[in-house]
């Protein structure tokens, strides 16, 4: 029982340290727009996993950014995956690679 309580205390202290450290590194008063650009090509095999990982980081409110999927030659299957992500998730957009600077304003 003492070992379990010790492990629980260590986990609690680690969690509190993680949250405090995250708040120090990511202040809430951040007004500049931020973007996470994901270049996508082909069938977009790892596209969904990459976007989900970025959304997981954003869900903790430690980072606020828009995820931009930059189309660098997606085939129809990859475009369907990208469109599904865009329609399902807020603040995820799809743009052609050549027009990326127009979207990052």
Per-residue pLDDT of the chain (105 residues; tens, 9 = 90+): 889 999 999 999 999 998 887 777 666 665 667 888 999 988 888 888 999 888 887 776 656 788 999 998 899 999 999 999 999 988 899 999 888 888 776
- pTM for the model: 0.68
Report the alpha-carbon distance of residue 103 to residue 79 in Å, rounded.
18
- What is the bridge-based pairing of β-strands 35-42 and 66-74? parallel
Q: Cβ-count burial of 91 within 10 angstroms (0-12 exposed, 13-18 middle, 19+ buried)?
A: middle
Secondary-structure percent of the chain, ordered helix, strand, coil, rounded to 5 = 55, 20, 25
Report the alpha-carbon distance of residue 81 to residue 45 in Å, rounded.
9
């Amino acid at each position: 029982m003492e070992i379990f309580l010790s492990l629980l205390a260590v986990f609690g202290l680690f969690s509190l340290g993680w949250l405090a450290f995250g708040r120090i590194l990511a202040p809430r008063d951040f007004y500049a727009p931020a973007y996470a650009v994901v270049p996508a090509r082909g069938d977009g095999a790892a596209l969904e996993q990459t976007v989900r990982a970025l959304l997981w980081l954003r869900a903790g409110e430690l980072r606020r950014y828009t995820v931009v999927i930059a189309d660098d030659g997606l085939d129809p299957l990859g475009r369907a995956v990208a469109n599904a992500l865009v329609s399902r998730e807020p603040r995820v957009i799809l743009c052609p690679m050549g027009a990326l600077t127009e979207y990052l304003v």
